Structure 1
Amino acid sequence: MFDSRHIKTFHEVVRTGSYSAAARSLGYTQPAVSQQMKALERGAGTPLFTRAGRGIRLTEAGEMLSRHADAILGSLTAAQQQMSAFTRLRTGRVRVCAFPSASATLIPEAMARLAADHPGIRVDLLESEPPESLHRLVRGECDITIAFTYPGMRADVPEELAEIPMLEDPLTVLLPTGHPLARRRAVRLVDLADERWIAGCPRCRTNFLHACAEAGFEPDIAFTTDDNLVVQSMVAAGIGVAVMPALVLSFLCHQKVTGRVVEPHIRRRISAYAIREHLRVPATAVVLEELKAAAAARDGC
């Protein structure tokens, strides 16, 4: 069995090219590095280095171990971060990562409930779009992630994560208030086939392109931005129209923008995610319950 300390030293020897350089980088003596590499070779049952003039080079076995060293050290770092997160959560601090429209709607409502009912729990808020937000959860950078997916889209959720469904969020189209179709209660995508469009994040844009293809046209995407407020400003200025989730309508800022339901109806699924073992941590469970309550108050609106 390999010692993780030896793997770390081996990785540094490979990176720096010599025992002496690795020793300087790690703050060890050169004999200490040499002893660790001998111990690693005994564990491997084969030489990992061979002399090459005044330097060293990897043997075939060393090359094989080097290919795995990054992954081994990465997994150890992730495990340490998750264990640290587990310990920290017991103190009542929870890190929540969410996409922007959830940060502007679900998070404030849940945090207001949390402050009233559980004042000892503190929440740090981070923002990322999926799938990056899920990757941050796996890497131990946050404790809860709120993410979304669309019908027919592969969720690609790592198996160590638990999914907690929260909300079905219908899509709407944002139109300038004076647009002829703004007088309708609902708007068909095909009726907007000749419009210029403003597209959002990669996952939303992929779903939008699929919906337009289903409606029989290819949209003219003039601008792309992840910023909901920028989208609203562009629509208000008459630069284009945009498909946005209904959550955005609750913080629609421009009087010159009108939101209308899209036909045929398309809904994205919003869920919370957490490391399965963390579901038993009281602070995590409390924050998840408050998030679910905030989502339930909006579901179907």
Structure 2
Amino acid sequence: MLDLARLRALHAVSVHGSVSAAAVALGYTPSAVSQAVTKLERETRTTLLERRGRGVALTDEGRHLAATARQLLALVEQAETELEERRGRPAGRLVVGAFASAARGLMPAVLARLGSDHPALDARLLEVDPHLSADLVSQGVIDLAVTHDWDIAPLAAPEGLERAVIGDDRCDVLVPEGHPLAGREVLDRTDLPHHRWICQPPGAVCHDWLVRTLRATGHEPDLAYQVAENHTHLALVAAGLGITLMPRLGRGPLPAGVRAVPLEPVPVRRLFALWRTGAARRPAITEAVRVLHEQWPLRTF
């Protein structure tokens, strides 16, 4: 009989594309994932992974078995959901995926509350890119995703997923003290051109919003510094190198020398929770969504 934990490891490699990424998703070491797949190869007397440069790729047999593993894991989830529903209380493992600023600004309070209220629930956190969240939920890698969208990129829940709005996260323009915009009480979009900008790299929704907004004023943006981490944005603003647009969630206290100026109309990103329709009755899911709603008004920016 095939070992379910080893099938789970193979499935994770197929979803994430590497042993190391699968290990992060599962909370294992890369060595443990490699050993699990090796043992599965011995059980099946089949080569499931093959070396490709510095990485690995699934063989045809590996892809076939990974697809079967996905079906088996879905059946296991269904059985676990039914058992948990019969118990009537959250229990078992719940893997929550959240984007970086939600993982920092919202999830600590949510996870602490779930842990204190439900000792039988093993809630875990995986930081994931918002663009990947829906696929990871669909594939069963995570149970619940905290993700977001903007008006220029609405989030559509794929077939088989359900969602609930958590709240709206407002954005401000952050400027160095002494900057020409620092003394303003409020800005509008015509104030944004002709400044050196610090922004997310191309492909990020924040980057796309800024480029579209500035071009709509008839100006090409001066994107002088393109970095992913918000704390790096803050450090660059504090050094007087440029200005940035930043959501409030997870931002934390502003460093000395940085001022937040509201922008009208306010750029807003909307946060959602996503989960599989088949798990909608699971008490762990319904309770996690309830706590997300409960904690959202209590967050501090």
| Superposition TM-score, scaled by structure 2 size | 0.70
Partner Cα distance (1:147, 1:182) in 2: 31
Equivalent position SS for 2:119: coil
The one-character-per-residue Cα deviations of 1:128-164 (angstroms, maximum 9, x if unpaired) are 1211122211121111101111114242432111011
Partner Cα distance (2:183, 2:99) in 1: 31
Equivalent position SS for 1:104: helix
**1:212 corresponds to:** 214
State whether residues 166 and 296 of structure 1, in contact with CA within 8 Å, keep that contact through their aligned partners in structure 2.
Answer: no
**1:102 corresponds to:** 102
Residue segments in structure 2 that go unaligned for 5+ positions in a row: 1-40, 47-59, 85-90
**2:167 corresponds to:** 167
Q: What is the one-letter code of the residue matched to 1:168?
A: D
- 2:241 pairs, out of 239, 242, 249, with 239
1:45-64 residue pairs with structure 2 within 5 A?
none
Change (3 A) 1:77 1:229: same
Change (3 A) 1:248 1:196: farther
Q: What is the one-letter code of the residue matched to 1:242?
A: T
Please say if 1:79 is aligned against 2:71.
yes
Q: What is the one-letter code of the residue matched to 1:79?
A: Q
Partner Cα distance (1:70, 1:186) in 2: 57
Shift of 1:178: 2.5
Partner Cα distance (1:72, 1:182) in 2: 59
Number of residue equivalences = 238
State whether residues 190 and 216 of structure 1, in contact with CA within 8 Å, keep that contact through their aligned partners in structure 2.
Answer: no
Shift of 1:297: 3.4
**2:257 corresponds to:** 256
State whether residues 172 and 248 of structure 2, in contact with CA within 8 Å, keep that contact through their aligned partners in structure 1.
Answer: yes
State whether residues 171 and 267 of structure 1, in contact with CA within 8 Å, keep that contact through their aligned partners in structure 2.
Answer: yes
Partner Cα distance (2:178, 2:76) in 1: 54
- Larger CA Rg, structure 1 vs 2: 1
Please say if 1:289 is aligned against 2:281.
no
Equivalent position SS for 1:287: helix
Partner Cα distance (2:200, 2:74) in 1: 32
Q: What is the one-letter code of the residue matched to 2:74?
A: Q
Change (3 A) 1:218 1:277: same
Moved more, 214-223 or 163-172: 214-223
Q: What is the one-letter code of the residue matched to 2:262?
A: V
**2:115 corresponds to:** 115
Partner Cα distance (1:199, 1:172) in 2: 13
Shift of 1:87: 5.2
The one-character-per-residue Cα deviations of 1:155-185 (angstroms, maximum 9, x if unpaired) are 2432111011111112211111232312222
State whether residues 200 and 228 of structure 2, in contact with CA within 8 Å, keep that contact through their aligned partners in structure 1.
Answer: yes
Shift of 1:248: 3.9
State whether residues 199 and 223 of structure 1, in contact with CA within 8 Å, keep that contact through their aligned partners in structure 2.
Answer: yes
Partner Cα distance (1:100, 1:208) in 2: 19
**1:279 corresponds to:** 280
Residue segments in structure 1 that go unaligned for 5+ positions in a row: 1-22, 29-67
**1:135 corresponds to:** 135
Please say if 1:150 is aligned against 2:150.
yes
Partner Cα distance (1:132, 1:125) in 2: 15
State whether residues 150 and 268 of structure 2, in contact with CA within 8 Å, keep that contact through their aligned partners in structure 1.
Answer: yes
Please say if 1:192 is aligned against 2:184.
no
Partner Cα distance (1:156, 1:71) in 2: 28
Partner Cα distance (2:287, 2:191) in 1: 45
Change (3 A) 1:195 1:124: same
Identity %: 29
1:21-60 residue pairs with structure 2 within 5 A?
26-27=44-45
Partner Cα distance (1:25, 1:124) in 2: 30
State whether residues 196 and 239 of structure 1, in contact with CA within 8 Å, keep that contact through their aligned partners in structure 2.
Answer: yes
Partner Cα distance (1:119, 1:233) in 2: 40
